[in-house]
Structure 1
Amino acid sequence: MIETNLRLDNYPFALASELRDAANEHGFRIGPEQASGWIFFRSASAPGEIAVAAAGNDGPFFLSITHSGVARELAMEPAQPCAKGHIAAFALPTRDALFEAVGEVYRKSISLPTLPLEQFERETATLGNTEIERIEKVRIGQGIFRKALLIYWKDTCPITGITDNALLRASHIIPWARCQSDAERLDVHNGLLLSSLWDAAFDDGLITFDDEGLPIASSELTDAAITALQIGNAVPLPLTPEHRARLAWHRTHLWRG
């Protein structure tokens, strides 16, 4: 663990402005409140609270958060102490690193469970169970799921690097129709943002992924398709334990070995 020493209760104007900008420019605009060197912010659209701090004008900088799901997914080493009432804090060496980390917290906060599910429940609250209404529920849910995946994966296919929105697909790992609940259907950990060719292969069971995030090709995949997919050049997917559990289901139930 990194030991931090927050020594400033009242920041110089320029430094305080930078800390406020780090929050305000990434969706955390409610605040500030200050205590024990931390400046606290909340968001109208993202759950939880963040706090930012600095040990001096040139850093290091510190970020403290309340969202446990985000804390688990941040690829940063934890620091101590947290702000009061928070569960995790992180040390950042530069101002730019702080800005990037706050942006990551916001992006994760609005895409992780349970916000997509809550939005789906609000938007479908007045719909019944007629065939037309069920189709409308699916349309709404898949739209929300796609938006959440675009945010989670930074509008980029993690395998190909493709960012063309028209070529990106929200790929369910456990298909929509085979999910046991709306919570499962709307969980970003039950999805991958894939380019259209990879999505078609994954959806049809011609491609799956191992626990390291590397693709596994079905024996039914042709040499031409393997070449087009450039499977040998694929970078590993960054997976959470929740992704791995669902990909194990995909390998068992959908992959055409």
Structure 2
Amino acid sequence: MLPDHPPRIEDYPYELLSELKECANEHGYRIGPDQAKGWLFFRSASAPGEIGLAATASGMSGPLYFSVFHPGAARELVAPETAEKARGSTKAFTLDSPAALRKAVSDVYRLSISLPTLPLESYLRDIAGLGDTEAERAQKVRIGQDRFRDAQLSYWNSCCPLTGITEPELLRASHIIPWAKCESDAERLDVHNGFLLSSLWDAAFDSGLVTFSDEGLALASPALSASAREALGLDREHLLTLHDDHRARLAWHRGNLFQSS
């Protein structure tokens, strides 16, 4: 059972309203607010799903309430849940500071633009005028891979989760099930069918020299040399934060690509 929290206020002072509006606006939600029953609702022109922000009589000192309508983003956001949920939203969360609220809003925007089905919809729009010649098929692949990379950059916040590397030139969008093995464009462009890895980790993962357990632990192939293990830092524990949709595809990777012997 979710804990009870102080009630939302209904009438927002101008300063508090401005602070909550700024919190939404600076992280991509610039349409609104609409107000109902103590909730301030915002939308984005570039991300699907509405958000709701609310405060108590303590103002920005917290607790602050955050309702998320996008099901995928709500499912993946890591924050304390609350029963103080806006009607129609998927989940609501309680944050103890303005900084925590800003991070949560930013995370939801980032997830909303990377999770299915937005990358696929963008890809289908981009290829709508292309035919089926060899050159056009190659162009479709390039466009799809660009959209997949964009989604991975958004999902992983432009940072390799294993190394902390943030330079775009050193980051690769790594498919779990390779592009050519996917059964559909939806599978190819699904953000959960990949990771954002540094170039060395990408090469090792793509060739089956490393994979990951369902817990996100890096597993090394016996075929991996000692020098390669050292370069990858496999003497340290590397752990990925995984979603169930990652795990289903990693089972395929372990069974079909990983060099287990």
Superposed CA RMSD in Å reads 0.9
User: Does the 8 A contact of 2:148 with 2:173 survive in 1?
Assistant: yes
Change (3 A) 1:7 1:147: closer
Deviations 1:5-39 (A, max 9, x none): 33311111111111101110100011111111110
Question: Deviation at 1:232?
Answer: 2.2
1:64 and 2:56 matched: no
2:221 equivalent among 194, 205, 218: 218
| Higher mean displacement: 208-217 or 76-85 | 76-85
1:133 and 2:133 matched: no
User: Does the 8 A contact of 2:216 with 2:240 survive in 1?
Assistant: yes
Question: Deviation at 1:77?
Answer: 2.4
Look up the equivalent residue of 1:75 and give its one-letter code: V
Quote the residue 1:123 is aligned against: 126
Look up the equivalent residue of 1:116 and give its one-letter code: P
Quote the residue 1:165 is aligned against: 168
Aligned length: 257
Secondary structure in structure 2 of the residue aligned to 1:192:
strand
Deviations 1:99-141 (A, max 9, x none): 1100011000000000000000000011111111100000000
Look up the equivalent residue of 2:10 and give its one-letter code: D
1:227 and 2:219 matched: no
Deviations 1:202-230 (A, max 9, x none): 00000001011111111110001001100
Partners in 2 of 1:191 and 1:166 — Cα distance?
18
1:98 and 2:101 matched: yes
Gaps of 5+ in 1: none
Partners in 2 of 1:157 and 1:186 — Cα distance?
19
2:197 equivalent among 189, 194, 211: 194
Quote the residue 2:187 is aligned against: 184
Quote the residue 1:24 is aligned against: 25
User: Does the 8 A contact of 1:6 with 1:53 survive in 2?
Assistant: no
Look up the equivalent residue of 2:25 and give its one-letter code: N
User: Does the 8 A contact of 2:65 with 2:84 survive in 1?
Assistant: no
1:252 equivalent among 246, 252, 255: 255
Partners in 2 of 1:107 and 1:201 — Cα distance?
27
- What is the 5 A alignment of 1:148-163? 148-163=151-166
Quote the residue 2:8 is aligned against: 7
Partners in 2 of 1:187 and 1:33 — Cα distance?
32
Look up the equivalent residue of 1:86 and give its one-letter code: S
Partners in 2 of 1:162 and 1:234 — Cα distance?
17
Identity of aligned residues (%): 58
Gaps of 5+ in 2: none
Question: Deviation at 1:163?
Answer: 0.8
| Higher mean displacement: 54-63 or 38-47 | 54-63
Secondary structure in structure 1 of the residue aligned to 2:235:
helix
Q: TM-score, normalised by structure 2?
A: 0.97
Deviations 1:138-179 (A, max 9, x none): 000000100110111011110011111101000000000000
Question: Deviation at 1:4?
Answer: 2.8
User: Does the 8 A contact of 1:2 with 1:91 survive in 2?
Assistant: no
Q: TM-score, normalised by structure 1?
A: 0.98
Question: Deviation at 1:2?
Answer: 2.4
Partners in 1 of 2:109 and 2:8 — Cα distance?
26
Look up the equivalent residue of 1:33 and give its one-letter code: D
Question: Deviation at 1:75?
Answer: 1.3
